[in-house]
Structure 1
Amino acid sequence: MPKRVIVIGSGIIGASAAWHLAKGGADVTVLEAGEPGGLATRNSWAWINASWGNPEPYFRLRQRAIAEWHRLEGEIPALAVNWCGGLIWDLPPAELDAYAAQREAWGHPLSFVTRAEILAREPNLRDVPDHAFHVAEEGMLEPLATSQALLAAASALGAEVLSGSPVKWLERGDRVTGVMTDDGVIHADETLVAAGVHTDSLLDSVGITLKLTSPAGLLAHSKPAPKLLNGLVMTPGLHIRQTAEGRIVAGTDFAGADPDNDAEALAASLQHKVEAMVTGAEGLGLDFLTVGHRPTPADGFPAIGRPRGCEGLYTIVTHSGVTLAAALGRFAAEELLTGRRDALLDPFHPDRPALS
């Protein structure tokens, strides 16, 4: 008899887990409080990367995740990752060079590019530095469309996706046995919590503490324009990419900026910087802004796995959902259905001291 699994949350992590579970033969129900696609996902800058600031174990996990996105594209034709590469010069020169040397030592070389080479890749940029680095393996995707494609693929394998179905609490006896919703209890053999910023409160309902932060990140979205950018561009204080429909999405960095109670002014400032940096964007104008709250475990790294002493429960919470989704969905499905845990997850157990 198929294992019955509830997935709480239909953002890119939950959607990936649902598809991998359904592919593995599970009877899957996805519960989403709002509209399919989640909240943090649709407000993401949507960069797939293994970039700076990460210790080697996290870098290795992100590298694997990039490979898993390539695999997933081959299995779900509706997915469309743009493997456009990224230009990076958002660190002081000495730090940027040290970062490149570290990646070289880890077997992940970055390509040194001169000013002329930067402009050959991105001819519409102004005020570029004398040198930067290019990472060919990086990509971007349209986050909401990607989540919806994963959910549709899961549904085609028999998964049930229920929107407008908030979970009030987890049901627990000797083990977690399901969830309480407005329509009553839904029972399951396993419950996977991929509920973003609501993860900690759901775990608290069964006596599990997981320290979580939810910093706000604002992104400015321009009006649609003809193609002005070929890839991702990371500069000091401004990260930009152009979406499939032509909007330039900008943040102070990939996470977006803290709006600090003045979202409109910050978005206008970001759009002004875009128009000053990109030839052809002059007068383009701001179309809208988004403010997403990034689910981030207290030490900044993912929390993935079964909390000890609570059978029937699995959780995934991470800020880097877009990068990691393809890998974490696969790893969660394998662990839930076969008991095998990928060694790359060893440093990221939810019971580590920093989170309790």
Structure 2
Amino acid sequence: MIEHQPDHVVILGGGIFGSSSAAQLARRGVRVTLVTEGALAGGASGRSLAWLNAAWKWPRPYYAIRVAGIDRWRTWGARHPGSSRYLRFTGGLMWADEDDGESLRDLFALQRERGYDAEWVARDRISRVAPGVDPSAVAAEGAIFNPGEGWVDLPSVIRLLAEEIVELGGTIVEDAGPSQPIVAGGRATGVRTAAGHEISGDAVLLATGPSVPLQLAELGVQIGTSSPPAFVVFTTPVDLPLEVTLNTPHVAIRRTVDGGLAMDSGWSERSIAVSADGSLQIAEEVVGRLLAEAARVLQAHPALEVARIGAGYKPVPADGEPVYGRIGEVRGLYVAFSHSGATQGLIAGELLADEIATGYVSPLMTPFRPDRFAR
């Protein structure tokens, strides 16, 4: 158990992990200050495809926390009238790359074994579950339709969480520049902003996305990272009956709150060039190919126009699994670091707040502790 409930927690990072944790702590009566480098949702949360799912062949513990994450989003939807504008459980559709000899039959069998809501859909029945998809683009073997999946617009949620934090007496500091935890005598005592302003606290949560490993390294704490450069293309509104989220061999697509599309892919991310100063260079030809692939799998092959591109580093731990909880080497310092901020955003904030406020570590969290990298 914790020595005592902290009176004031400083949270570094204005994405979904930071804002969710701050709101949960504030609900528990803990005073919070949320500090972010730029604007809220200005990092990875603002450029996420934000597909809510537990569909893949993950180990059981990771699968379990993702399922719990989806559950919390359903609770959010039930408690927030009007949330269907930015949170939709309209299902997910995926199919294999038959050109590479792939099949999703084994994945479908695993989903059924785990009780994950899944249907096998023949190509000639695609239009029944996924209007807006060109059935001829689907693999000949068919596709997996997961009715319980969805997507969320994280900036919309973060704005609502921020309002709640302030209503409950918390403070939000935006545009603080690159800020760092303050450690004295082996204990986290607050945060120092880029301008040198110090905000004291009894505990600190570090939730700065891909910057987490470097900031911890500066404190002598090592956690593994493999955070790659990535980008998401957001289009202007498209007149199309598409509602499901698509995970196809060469492009993933979801709707956006304004009726456009958000899309990314593994191959397009691997094409990013990183300049000597760390800036990311995305070729127009790559964006054009991504748009063309999206149009190819959509009904009537619509002309797609770029509204904006969100680019940056994707926060990915070295072993691909989340890093949550107390840093053993520094008392009062906690961390949230994962590439799946959308699916786990609410559940992670809830469980981290429990740990920070009471010392309770949920069994859902125990496989993902930071100290696994010190072994």
- 1:122 lines up with 2:120 in the alignment: no
Q: How far, CA to CA, are the matches of 1:201 and 1:267 in structure 2?
A: 30
Q: Is the 8 A contact 2:324 2:336 kept in 1?
A: yes
Choose the corresponding residue for 1:88, options 83, 94, 100: 94
Post-superposition offset of 1:167: 4.8
- 1:300 lines up with 2:320 in the alignment: yes
Counterpart amino acid of residue 158 in structure 2: S
- 1:344 lines up with 2:373 in the alignment: no
Q: How far, CA to CA, are the matches of 2:358 and 2:78 in structure 1?
A: 24
Partner of 1:269: 289
Q: Is the 8 A contact 2:96 2:103 kept in 1?
A: no
Q: Is the 8 A contact 1:267 1:289 kept in 2?
A: no
Choose the corresponding residue for 1:49, options 42, 49, 53: 53
- DSSP 3-state at the match of 1:170: strand
- 1:252 lines up with 2:262 in the alignment: no
CA gap 1:314/1:26 in 2 versus in 1, 3 angstroms: same
Partner of 2:238: 225
Partner of 1:283: 303
Partner of 2:342: 322
Partner of 2:182: 171
- DSSP 3-state at the match of 2:270: coil
Post-superposition offset of 1:22: 0.8
Q: How far, CA to CA, are the matches of 1:24 and 1:295 in structure 2?
A: 28
Counterpart amino acid of residue 186 in structure 1: I
Post-superposition offset of 1:343: 0.1
Q: How far, CA to CA, are the matches of 2:35 and 2:362 in structure 1?
A: 26
- For each residue in 1:116-169, what CA deviation from the matched residue of structure 2 results, as whole angstroms up to 9, or x when unmatched? 331112233222334211111111011222222222222222221110113543
Choose the corresponding residue for 1:101, options 106, 109, 118: 109
Identity %: 28
Segments of 5+ residues of structure 1 without an aligned counterpart are: none
- DSSP 3-state at the match of 1:314: strand
Counterpart amino acid of residue 324 in structure 1: Q
Q: How far, CA to CA, are the matches of 2:259 and 2:79 in structure 1?
A: 27
CA gap 1:264/1:333 in 2 versus in 1, 3 angstroms: same
- For each residue in 1:94-134, what CA deviation from the matched residue of structure 2 results, as whole angstroms up to 9, or x when unmatched? 64111111122222241111223311122332223342111
Choose the corresponding residue for 1:35, options 11, 32, 39: 39
Counterpart amino acid of residue 264 in structure 2: G
- For each residue in 1:51-98, what CA deviation from the matched residue of structure 2 results, as whole angstroms up to 9, or x when unmatched? 213111100110011111122334455644101110111355764111
Q: How far, CA to CA, are the matches of 2:42 and 2:201 in structure 1?
A: 22
CA gap 1:45/1:267 in 2 versus in 1, 3 angstroms: same
Q: How far, CA to CA, are the matches of 1:84 and 1:109 in structure 2?
A: 13
Counterpart amino acid of residue 177 in structure 1: T
Post-superposition offset of 1:229: 0.7
- DSSP 3-state at the match of 1:213: coil
- DSSP 3-state at the match of 1:179: strand
Partner of 1:69: 73
- DSSP 3-state at the match of 1:240: strand
CA gap 1:91/1:303 in 2 versus in 1, 3 angstroms: farther
- For each residue in 1:287-306, what CA deviation from the matched residue of structure 2 results, as whole angstroms up to 9, or x when unmatched? 33222311111111111011
Cα RMSD over matched residues? Answer: 2.1
Output the TM-score relative to the length of structure 1. 0.93
- 1:312 lines up with 2:323 in the alignment: no
- 1:190 lines up with 2:196 in the alignment: no
- 1:213 lines up with 2:226 in the alignment: yes
How many matched pairs? 354
Moved more, 121-130 or 143-152: 121-130
Choose the corresponding residue for 1:148, options 120, 140, 159: 159
Counterpart amino acid of residue 52 in structure 2: I
- For each residue in 1:165-217, what CA deviation from the matched residue of structure 2 results, as whole angstroms up to 9, or x when unmatched? 13543222231111122242211011000011111222223221122232112
Q: Is the 8 A contact 2:354 2:361 kept in 1?
A: yes
Segments of 5+ residues of structure 2 without an aligned counterpart are: 274-281
Output the TM-score relative to the length of structure 2. 0.88
Post-superposition offset of 1:265: 1.4
Q: Is the 8 A contact 2:117 2:147 kept in 1?
A: no
Counterpart amino acid of residue 314 in structure 1: Y
Moved more, 88-97 or 231-240: 88-97
